[in-house]
Amino acid sequence: MADTHSPQVKPELLKQVTSNLFDCPNDEALVHCISGDCCMGASIAVLFKQKFGDVSKLLKQRKVSGQCAVLLRESRFIYYLVTKQRAFHKPTYSSLLHSIKDMSINVITADCLSSLAVCSHSIVCGLDQLEWTKVAKILEQVFIGTGIIITIYSLPWTAASLN
């Protein structure tokens, strides 16, 4: 049986590192998934909520599933992929694809980013249980040819369990 969570990625577009997402270089935008109600009550979303706050600003953006909210913190973009409407819902590959496409418009328009930082478990592969190999293909599909490098962060114990 194939390992559906293995973070094997194409080195030219997606690169994998074993490190804490929040320790990434300041020139990398951070990306993670949330629900449209901006609950952020579990997993890495709690850390994003604690570290960056401004849930009211996210709610004012009125993003729905398939869209992307964004905050700017000290010259760093923080992208919130809305992959489901409510915290207790489950995302779909379609909602993920649409939210990544929405984010890509902002990334390309901003024209000041060369890389995105993503934790494999923060982009619907943790509690939401989508398959990493399919998520990686969506990222590749959307960002191929853009020059954007996506760094996939895994903590040591997570990386070991996924390989």
Q: Is residue 133 part of a domain?
A: yes
pLDDT at 59: 95
Return the structure tokens found at 160.
Answer: 């070991």
DSSP string, the chain: ---TT-----TTTEEEEES-GGGS-TTSEEEEEEETT----SHHHHHHHHHH--HHHHHHTT--TTEEEEEEETTEEEEEEEEESSTTS---HHHHHHHHHHHHHHHHHH---SEEEEETIIIIISTT---HHHHHHHHHHHHTTS--EEEEEE-HHHHHHH-
In the structure, what pLDDT confidence band is assigned to residue 123 with cuts at 50, 70 and 90?
low
Tell me the mean pLDDT in the region 119-141.
Answer: 77
For the chain, the domain total comes to 1
What does the alpha-carbon distance between residue 76 and residue 119 come to, in Å, rounded to a whole number?
16
Tell me the mean pLDDT in the region 69-86.
Answer: 92
CB atoms within 10 A of CB 8: 12
**Is the pTM of the predicted complex or chain greater than 0.95?**
no
pLDDT at 64: 96
What is the residue type of 154?
S
Residue-range definition of the domain harbouring residue 44 = 14-162
Q: Check pLDDT > 60 for residue 163.
A: no
Q: Check pLDDT > 70 for residue 46.
A: yes
pLDDT digits (tens, 9 = 90+) for 142-151: 999 888 999 9
Q: Is residue 106 part of a domain?
A: yes
What does the alpha-carbon distance between residue 137 and residue 101 come to, in Å, rounded to a whole number?
13
What does the alpha-carbon distance between residue 71 and residue 152 come to, in Å, rounded to a whole number?
20
In the structure, what pLDDT confidence band is assigned to residue 3 with cuts at 50, 70 and 90?
very low
pLDDT at 9: 46
Q: Is residue 9 part of a domain?
A: no
CATH number at residue 64: 3.40.220.10
Q: Is residue 117 part of a domain?
A: yes
Tell me the mean pLDDT in the region 70-74.
Answer: 91
In the structure, what pLDDT confidence band is assigned to residue 130 with cuts at 50, 70 and 90?
confident
Which residues participate in catalysis according to the annotation? 84, 128
Q: Is residue 104 part of a domain?
A: yes
Q: Is residue 3 part of a domain?
A: no
